[in-house]
Chain A
Amino acid sequence: MKYFDCNCMIGRISEKKLFFDTKEDLLKEMDYYDIEKALVYSSIAYQYNTEYGNKLLKKEVGNNKRILPVAVVVPWDSIDKCLSEEMEDFIRKSAYGVKFFPKKSNFKFSKFNISEILDLVNKIRLPVFINYEEIEDFEDFNAVVYSYPDIPFILTWSGYRLGRILCSLFSLFKNIHIDISNFHNYEGIEYIGRKYGYNRFLFGSGWPYMSPGGPISRIIYAGISGSDKEKIAYYNLEEIMKEIIR
């Protein structure tokens, strides 16, 4: 089985020393775990400055076909425009997704604050990634998802605390997915997948905070068909990538 990882980060972070943080480390891990491709965001974009960090990431990744950059985005980094031209350019031409950290970066995941960004993302059909714990107001989040039915919204780090909210979200919206890196709910993939479709799940590792072995084993030993396992491991994300309009 091959894997397409939707949730990886490269770079150092402020609060602790990670075991790994470079592109080379990531590629080595991907080889060991049979991960063919990975979507990657920059820790520097996440914790320091989006423009600087995304630029670093673009340079770091270069033309590597296995590591695909995700742009970390904030609104109003300058007073002139919600998104700078450089960021727009990165999103249009190079990014394979956008990631938001509204709680960390002090903005609202709400139409009034980020619709200009999402209008652009919508034109290109990029997926939007957001850590579940970064969502402060699900009413705002839901209003955004409702307004952009063609954007895939992927909740990352969707740990077991999301469990009681997930069924409501999946009932309301067909364009919400979760990354299984931290989806520890007992038999969650089997039961939720049976009801809402296994296309809701994307393989993610949460690297380098976490290692891929857990979610890989989750798929390998899942009580679902072989083809559904392959979809979660690789093809669900690949289908989302195919929708990107360049």
Chain B
Amino acid sequence: MDIAERVKKGEILKDILIMDCHAHMDKVSAFSIYGDSSCDGMVRLMDRIGIDKCIVSHHLSIGPDYRPGNDIVYAAIKKYPERILGYTGVNPHYPDEILPELKKRLKQGFVGIKIHPDTHNYKATDNNYHIAYEFAQQNKLFLLSHTWGHDTCNPKLFVELASKYSSVKFLLAHAGGGDRQGIEESIEAVKKCGNIYIDITCSLLSSYWLEEMVRQIGDEKILFGTDCPFLDPRYDLGMVLLSRISDKSKERILGLNMKKILEGGKK
């Protein structure tokens, strides 16, 4: 029985590694988050639906104040070391704080960096973010950036960055925003740079787009993510599990690709 058939029968896929490369934590004012969105609630839901690990940036960290946000993530990492990994969130409007924060969190075991040029209203290619890119380059880290059709963070900007910082793996969150232009720009960025990946976290992305992505760029540069608990993870999960790509592609996208990135960082 293939993966889609197993899912249709209601099976939780415990034999398949599922890693959510794009998660958050706790509530946020902009949108209703009904369930328990603490690390405890998230792990309970992950257990229920077969997600093995998630990599988290706190809503505070991509919002007004990364300091308590990253602290909360650190507490979650310590509580659930096998289930929750952390992105260090940074704010480009406080450039003097970026490097000390990144060093501190790397020592604490955070595995990547998250930037949000949209909420922070700061273009991905502007000066202060380069502090983070340099750090990621020296430490061979991966970096997840929100991408959308805005001037601050459209996928095209990352071609220049990925070329300059060739040791950094750039993960383009939301595949440019879920519309044709954003997705096509993301696909082009992957074609141009071996260190760019597409994170398919997106309420607007259909299985049809995922199938098209795999047709154009294969399955090794696509990563599963959900935006949980900002969004319920079961939509993006089903989008992959019930798509028409091969089971091998599903396994790569759901977890094996991210596992390879994480293992690369440990070397």
Binding site for B on A (CB under 8 A): 1, 16-17, 19-20, 32-34, 159-161, 163-164, 166, 182, 184-188, 190-192, 208-218, 220-223
Contact = CB atoms under 8 A, between A and B. Distances in A.
Interface in B29-45: 31-37, 45
A185 to B, nearest CB: 5
B238 A218 contact: yes
A220 B7 contact: yes
B8 A34 contact: yes
A215 B235 CA distance: 6
A168 to B, nearest CB: 11
Contacts of B100: none
A172 to B, nearest CB: 17
Contact of A221 (B12, B35, B208, B229): B12
Contacts of A221: 12, 48-49, 234, 237-238
B228 interface: yes
Contacts, number: 116
Interface in B1-52: 7-8, 10, 12, 31-37, 45, 48-49
A220 B238 contact: yes
Given A185-B31, A211-B207, A220-B238, A16 B180 contact: yes
Contact of A188 (B34, B206, B236, B239): B34
Given A208-B208, A214-B235, A221-B234, 17 more contacts: A1-B8, A32-B244, A160-B32, A186-B228, A186-B231, A187-B229, A187-B232, A191-B35, A211-B208, A214-B234, A214-B238, A217-B7, A218-B234, A220-B10, A221-B12, A221-B49, A221-B237
B230 interface: yes
Contacts of A17: 180
Interface size class of chain B, counting residues whose CB lies under 8 Å from the partner chain? 35 or more
Contacts of A161: 31
A213 B31 contact: no
Interface centre among B207, B232, B244 (most CB of A within 10 A): B232
B227 to A, nearest CB: 8
B222 to A, nearest CB: 16
B33 A186 contact: yes
Interface of B: 7-8, 10, 12, 31-37, 45, 48-49, 179-180, 203-204, 206-209, 212, 228-232, 234-244
Contacts of B228: 186
Interface centre among A19, A159, A187, A214 (most CB of B within 10 A): A214
A192 B7 CA distance: 25
B155 to A, nearest CB: 18
Contact of A217 (B32, B34, B237): B237
The 10 closest A-B pairs by CB, nearest first: A217-B238, A163-B32, A187-B35, A213-B242, A214-B235, A211-B207, A191-B34, A19-B208, A211-B206, A184-B231
B58 to A, nearest CB: 15
A186 B239 contact: no
Contacts of A192: 34
B206 A190 contact: no
A188 B32 contact: yes
B232 A188 contact: yes
A217 B35 contact: no
Nearest to B36: A187
A198 to B, nearest CB: 14
Contacts of A1: 8, 10
A116 to B, nearest CB: 36
B100 to A, nearest CB: 33
A210 B49 CA distance: 22
A215 B238 contact: yes
Nearest to A34: B8
Interface centre among B8, B36, B180 (most CB of A within 10 A): B8
A213 B238 contact: yes
B235 A190 contact: no
